[in-house]
Structure 1
Amino acid sequence: MSALAPWTMDKTVALGGERRHLHKGALVAPAFSAPSLASQIQFSPTALAAAMARTATLQNAPPELLTHIRDSALSEARILLAEGAGFELSPLLADLADSERTHFASRMGAGITDLYMNALGYAWRNNAACLSTALKPHADFLYHGGNALGHGVVLAEARGSFAANVSDAGMAAAAERKYLRQVLPYIGALSPHGRVIHGYSIGFGSRPGTVGAFLRLSQTRRGKPKAKPGIPKSPTPPAGAVAPAGSVPTGMALASHRSNFALMDAIPVAKWIDWVGGKRDVPEDTGPITFLKFNYAGRPFLAPAQALMPFKSPYLWFEALHGHPFWREQWEQYVAGPFAPFFAFAMEESAAASFLDTLTGLIRFGTRRLPDALDLPTGDLAGIISGDSRDGRFVSARDELARGDYDYALFRDGLALIAGPPPRKLTGVRSWHPKEGLD
C-alpha cells in the first residue's frame, strides 16, 4: 500500500515565460493595471487539493452532487503526484485509462490556474459559462478582486496536459492558441458580473516519468489610451457593469460562496443561495444551521458540525460545549489510512459571518431585484507562496508557513482546507438562521 501514500512536500513551479496580445479597438477600463506576474509559485499538497476542489465545484449542479465531486478531486490531488521537492507525476497515472489521465490533467490545470490567480491578488471566482449560452468556445473562469476591483472582471482559461511529448514550447503554444480562441473574443464583453477587462490563458504540463513541470501564460497586452479633445478617456459603463470600489459583484460573490459552502458540507446555505438567485424553490429545511468555532494557526474558523465531527456521539456534544479536547486517539485512528486523511473545509470567522449576515439580508429582501454589489472582506493566503517577478525573490502574502503543527490552505475569499492535525478543542458554537442571521 506504500505506492498509495499521499505526497507531503511542497512543490515549486516556475513560470517559463509569457506572451502578450494586444486588444484591437478601444482600450477597456483604461484605469486598470494588470498585476505583476509571479515568477514562480510554491504550494502545499493541501493548497493544490483545495484549488482543484474549488474549481471543480463551480457549476450549477445540486449541492449534494458537488460534495461527491469535491471528494474525488481531493483524492486525485493527493495520490496522483509523487513525493519529492520537484513536481513529478505518480507512476499510478500510467495505470489509468487515457480518458482518466486527460480528466486529471484538466483538473490539475484548473487547480494550478486558481492558485496562480490567487497569487496575483484575485479573490472571487465563477464559471465563465455565463458568457455564452451557445456552444461557442469560451474560457473557463471569471475572477474579480485585487487590481480588478472597481473596474470589472478578468477571464482565465486553464489548460493542463500530461503526455510524453509535453514541452515548454508546446505549453507556450497551447496557452497562446487557447487565448486567441477562447479569451481574446470576449475582452470588452459584458458578463453578468461586469465587463471583461483583461484575460489570461495558463498552460500547465508535465511529462510522466520525469521531474519538472512547464508553466506558460498568455495575457492581454494593454496599449496606452489615445486622448482626444472633447472626448472623455473612460466612458461611463452601463448600470451594473462595474461594481463600486471596495465591493464584489453580487453574482460573483454568490457563485464563489455557493461553491465554498458546498465544499464545507453546509448544503442548506448553498440551497438558500440558489433561492436568492432565483434558481430553485425555497429549501425544505428552513431551520438553523450549527457552526462550530475553533482556532487554528492563530486564526478563528467556522465549520458546520457535521463536517468537523465524523463521530456521531451525544457525549462529544457535551465535551465540545465545555471546550474539552477532542478524542485524539479516535482522530488518529480515523486518519490512519491513505484514503482517509483528516480533511475539513472551513471559513475564517470574519469572512463567514460577513457573508452569512449578508445572505440573511438578501433572504429577507426576497426574490426581488438583487443589489449590484455586496460589501465583503478579502484576506491573505496560506499554503501558497508566489515569486515576485521584479527581483526573483519569494514573497508571501501569509503570516506563516502552513507547516510544523499546522497543515492548511487559506484563500483570499476566506475559504480554508484543514488537513491536520485536527483542532484540539472548540471555542464556541454559533447558529445561523436564514431569516435571523448568525448569533
Structure 2
Amino acid sequence: MTIVTAAPAPALWRAEKTVVRSGHRLHPHSPSPVSAGFAAPTMVGQITFRPEALAASIARTITLRHAPVALLDRWARAQLLEVEYMVADGAAFALSPDLTALADAERSAFAGRVGAGVTDLLMNALGYAWRDNAMCLSSKLDPHADFIYGGGAASGHGVVLAEAHGSFALAVTDGRIDGEARRKYLRQVKPHIGSSCVHGKVIHGYSVAFGSHPTAHDTYLHVAETKITKGRKNAPPVAAPAPPLAPVTTTLALASHRSNFLLMGAYGVVAWIDWLRGAGEQPEDDFIAPFVTVELAGRRFWVSLEALLPYMRPWLFPDEGPGPWPPWHWEEFERWRRRYGGPRNIFAMDEWAAKSELAPVVWTAPRGI
C-alpha cells in the first residue's frame, strides 16, 4: 500500500504591505503648466495596500478594455486568487516561490497586471479617482500611455496620462526600473502632453515603473512626471480657468461607472451605460437593478443582487409579493448558479463612495449566505 502525503497548502498573502517610492524624476515641458492654474499634487512617498485593494485596482484596469462583458468579468474575478498565491505574505512586498510555476510569458503578463494595479493605487493616492483606457488617444500618435485619469487636481483643467510598467525578472535592479520609468515617459507620455482626446485636454503625465526581484525580493517603485515650472517672481499673474460645473467630463464618468458596475456584476446597468455611450442597443424599459446593503466590519456596502444570487437560498426569492427582491423562480436561480459556479469574490461599493464617486472595494462572499 502506498501512502500519499498531501502537500501543505501554500501561505496566502493576508498582511497589509507598504511600498516606498524609490525615485521621482521631473521632466520639463513647454508650456508649463499646460493649463493655467493647474498644480500637480505632491508626490506620495509610499503606498500601503492589502491584497483586496491591489486585486481591485488590477480588475479596474482590466475592465476598462473594449472586450465582451463576460470575458472582462472572468479576467477581473481571477485577480484576487492570483495575487494571494503569487505574492508572499508579510509587511514587505515580496514574490512567492510559486511564481516559478508560471511560464516566462505568463510571468511577464502577471507582472504587467500588477504594475497596472500599483499604478492605479498610486494615482488614487494622488487624488485622481476617474479613469479610462488611453485607447481614445489618436492612433497617429502611437505608442501612447496606458490610462487616462481625471478628477482631483485636474478638475476643471483636463485629464492626465499614466503609463504603467511591471517587471518580476531576475534582471530587476533599482537602475533598470528607474530607466524604464524615464524611457516610457519620454516615449509614451511626453508626446501626448497638450493633445486632446474625447475626455478633454491632456495637461499632465506620469510614468510608473514597479519591479520586484523574484529571489532577492528587492522591490522598487519609480515615477517620472511632468515638471511644473514655477513662474518668475515679477511675472504678471495668469488667470485661472473658471470653476467647472462637474469634476470630470460625462464620457470619463461613464467609463469609470461602467467598470465599477461591471465588477459588481450589475450587467443591466452596464448595458444602459453602453447604450448611453453609443456602444449597444437600448435595454428594456422595465429593467430593474436591485441592490442590497451589507454591513461588514462596521461599514456598509452596496452589493448587486445579481452577484449574490449563486449564494442565496431559494426561499429568499418569493414568487410574488412586494419588497426589495424581484420575483425570482427556482429555474432562474439554478441558471444563475450554474453560470457562476461555486463561491467567489464579490465586488461591492462602500455606501459613502457609492453615493459620491462609486469607488469599488472587494470582499469575499461567505458560503452560508
Secondary structure of the equivalent of 2:311? coil
2:259 counterpart SS class: helix
Relative distance call for 1:250 and 1:223 in structure 2 (3 A) is same
Q: Counterpart in 1 of 2:302?
A: 302
Question: Is structure 2 residue 94 aligned with structure 1 residue 88?
Answer: yes
1:264 counterpart residue number: 264
Q: Which residue of 1 aligns with 2:338?
A: none
Q: Structure 2: how far apart are the matches of 1:341 and 1:164?
A: 36
Q: For 1:54, which of 50, 57, 60 is the aligned residue?
A: 60
SS in structure 2 at match of 1:310: helix
Shift of 1:263: 0.6
Mapped partners of 1:76, 1:135: distance in 2: 34
Indicate the SS of the match to 1:58.
coil
Task: Name the SS for the 1:42 alignment partner.
Answer: strand
One-letter amino acid of the structure 1 residue matched with residue 43 of structure 2 = L
Q: How much does 1:28 deviate? A: 0.6
Q: Which amino acid aligns with 2:192?
A: Y
Aligned: 1:233 with 2:232: no
Q: Equivalents in 1 of 2:271, 2:237: separation in Å?
A: 44
Contact 1:53–1:69 (CA under 8 A) maintained in structure 2: yes
- 1:171 aligned residue: 177
Q: Which runs of 5+ in 2 are unaligned?
A: 1-6, 325-340
Choose the corresponding residue for 2:226, options 205, 220, 227.
220
Of 99, 108, 118, which residue of structure 2 is paired with 1:112? 118
Which of these residues, 36, 57, 62, is aligned with residue 30 of structure 1?
A: 36
47-56 vs 103-112, which deviates more?
47-56
For 1:77, the equivalent position in structure 2 comes to 83
1:160 matched residue in structure 2 = 166
- Secondary structure at the aligned position of 1:68 is classed as helix
Asked which structure has the greater RCO (Cα within 8 Å, sep 6+), the reply is: 1
Letter in 1 for 2:94: E
Question: What residue identity is the alignment partner of 1:417?
Answer: V
Aligned to 1:189: 195
Secondary structure of the residue aligned to 2:275 is helix
| Alignment CA distance shift 1:233-1:123 (3 Å) | same
Output the aligned Cα RMSD: 2.8
**Once the 2 structures are TM-superposed, how far is the Cα of residue 99 of structure 1 from its aligned partner?**
0.8
1:415 to 351, 360, 364: 360
Report the residue type matching 2:116 in the other structure. Answer: A
Match of residue 346, structure 1, among 345, 348, 353: 348
1:203 is paired with a residue of what secondary structure?
Answer: strand
Alpha-carbon contact 2:310-2:342 (below 8 Å) kept: no
1:234 is displaced (CA, Å) by 5.3
Uncovered stretches (5+) of structure 1, i.e. residues with no partner: 237-241, 323-338, 355-376, 379-412, 426-439
3-state SS, counterpart of residue 216 of structure 2: coil
SS in 2 for 1:38: coil
* Cα distance per residue 1:332-361 (max 9 Å; x no partner): xxxxxxx97752111233554x5xxxxxxx
Change (3 A) 1:78 1:292: same
Distance of aligned partners of 1:84 and 1:197 in 2 relative to their CA distance in 1, 3 Å threshold? same
1:400-437, CA deviations, whole angstroms, 9 ceiling, x for partnerless residues? xxxxxxxxxxxxx4312123669x99xxxxxxxxxxxx
Q: Does the 8 Å contact 2:35/2:203 carry over to 1?
A: yes
Instruction: Report the CA distance between 1:37 and its aligned residue.
Output: 1.1
**Once the 2 structures are TM-superposed, how far is the Cα of residue 210 of structure 1 from its aligned partner?**
2.3
What is the CA–CA distance in structure 2 between the aligned matches of 1:165 and 1:52, rounded to whole Å? Answer: 24
1:387 aligned partner? none
Check conservation: 1:243, 1:249, Cα contact below 8 A.
no
